[in-house]
A = this chain, B = another copy of it.
Amino acid sequence: MRQLLTDIRRTPLLWLLVFVPVVIYGERAWPEAGTLLFGLSVLAIIPLAALLSRTTESVAERTGDAVGGLLNATLGNLTELVIAITALQAGQYALVKASMAGAIVTNTLFMLGGAFLLGGLKFHLQEFNRAGARFQSSLLFIATIALLVPSMVATSDGRAGAPELQTLSTMLAVLLIGGYALGMLFSLVTHKEVFVSAVHEASEEEPLPMGTAIATLLGVTVLVALVSEVFVGSVEEAGEALGLSPAFVGFIVVALVGAAAEMTTAFSAARKDRLDLSVSIALGSASQIALFVAPVLVLLSHVVGPTPMTLDFWPGAVVMMLVAAITAALLTSGGRSAWFLGVAVLMVYAIFGLTLYILPPVQ
């Protein structure tokens, strides 16, 4: 417990935890102030995400390679999952889908681009392991394809509303989760030597004791759920007040907030000339959204949502995810990076954001 407090004191990002009680109090005190609550909940989620990522890592380290890897792989995007489940319960499917698509694009373009830029400002040319990056970007490409084929086919044939789309979405979700399970078997059991270095290097700090870690994990998840409720409840009002569409909020704001913790790690690794780690975090996180988080949400929508959710996205999101996956494949196949590559990737991200801001998709 003391170590947890030391951690918090040493990490400026975690000072934002002070906003957690403020948000929870604020929800009762000023239920009308949607925009304020929205801003406060964003500020509160960021440190919670960082804490969640930190404790997951601690538990993972204590439980040994296989179980730890499993935990890391499953809980790594827990923040996104909790926010999305809250939105699912509220029936805000546009927000859920936008945040899934946005998480894939943000992790790929913003995290990778930022790492290339920040690393490139410090080092003239950076090399990274092509074989590993190529493997992960192939996986991301296939995962993205898997996710978007239904919407491409449904949209291009003009049958976005067909009832069969529901059946297809549910079956695909099962298939994708099966693929994810095999992927874990691959990376944690049969071919762990290909992945082990990156995971190992990730943890530099002293791990928390097991009890504290598990207690924190549970407690923080509850807090994320509470704050997410405020966030999701206020997002529509805030969006209107700020002139932001649900698509923009989900795609850009939720995705950046949810990935804040991983980004800190990926960027600081790039500054230490360990681009392997940055690439692995960015692409791994994006694949996980496509192969695990999105299908789980489809299955959960049968239980917690007002109606089952389908796996089809609006056409612009399909284009953006596909572009992100191809960009990642092209950029990482070279195995070299310099600052301008980061600028170029961030530019594509900025163009996506600008397009969504000015021309949000018609719901």
Chain A contact residues, CB within 8 Å of chain B: 124-125, 131, 134-135, 137-139, 141-143, 145-146, 149-150, 152-159, 162, 164-165, 167-168, 171-172, 175-176, 179, 182-183, 186, 190-191, 194, 314-316, 318-320, 323, 326-327, 329-331, 333-334, 336, 338-341, 343-345, 347-348, 350-352, 354-355, 358-359, 361-362
| B171 & A339 in contact (Cβ 8 Å cutoff) | no
| B179 & A141 in contact (Cβ 8 Å cutoff) | no
The SS class assigned to the A binding surface is: helix
Q: Give me 30 A-to-B residue pairs in the complex whose CB atoms sit less than 8 angstroms apart, sorted by A's number.
A: A125-B191, A134-B333, A135-B336, A138-B330, A141-B327, A142-B345, A142-B347, A142-B348, A145-B323, A145-B327, A146-B347, A146-B351, A149-B323, A149-B351, A150-B355, A156-B315, A157-B362, A158-B362, A164-B358, A167-B358, A168-B358, A168-B359, A171-B354, A171-B358, A172-B351, A175-B351, A175-B354, A182-B340, A183-B343, A186-B339
CA distance A320 to B194 in the complex (A): 31
In the complex formed, the residue of B with least CB distance to A133 is: B334
In the complex formed, the residue of B with least CB distance to A167 is: B358
CB distance from A114 to the nearest CB of B (A): 15
Residues of B contacting A158 in the complex (Cβ-Cβ under 8 angstroms)? 362
Residues of B contacting A318 in the complex (Cβ-Cβ under 8 angstroms)? 156
A165 touches which of B345, B350, B359 (Cβ 8 Å):
B359
Residues of B contacting A326 in the complex (Cβ-Cβ under 8 angstroms)? 141, 326
Closest 8 A-B residue pairs measured CB to CB?
A156-B315, A186-B340, A153-B316, A168-B358, A142-B344, A134-B334, A152-B319, A179-B347
Interface centre among A135, A137, A355 (most CB of B within 10 A): A355
CA distance A167 to B354 in the complex (A): 10
CA distance A159 to B131 in the complex (A): 42
Interface centre among A141, A155, A168, A344 (most CB of B within 10 A): A344
Question: Assuming A152-B319, A334-B135, is B168 touching A355 (CB within 8 A)?
Answer: yes
| A146 & B340 in contact (Cβ 8 Å cutoff) | no
| B149 & A179 in contact (Cβ 8 Å cutoff) | no
Residues of B contacting A334 in the complex (Cβ-Cβ under 8 angstroms)? 131, 134-135, 138
Question: Assuming A175-B350, A314-B157, A361-B157, is B138 touching A355 (CB within 8 A)?
Answer: no
CA distance A175 to B346 in the complex (A): 11
Residues of B contacting A182 in the complex (Cβ-Cβ under 8 angstroms)? 340, 343
Residues of B contacting A162 in the complex (Cβ-Cβ under 8 angstroms)? 359
Question: Assuming A168-B355, A333-B333, is B149 touching A341 (CB within 8 A)?
Answer: no
CA distance A357 to B317 in the complex (A): 25
| A156 & B340 in contact (Cβ 8 Å cutoff) | no
Residues of B contacting A330 in the complex (Cβ-Cβ under 8 angstroms)? 137-138, 141, 329
Residues of B contacting A141 in the complex (Cβ-Cβ under 8 angstroms)? 326-327, 330
CB distance from A195 to the nearest CB of B (A): 11
| A175 & B347 in contact (Cβ 8 Å cutoff) | yes
In the complex formed, the residue of B with least CB distance to A361 is: B157
| B329 & A157 in contact (Cβ 8 Å cutoff) | no
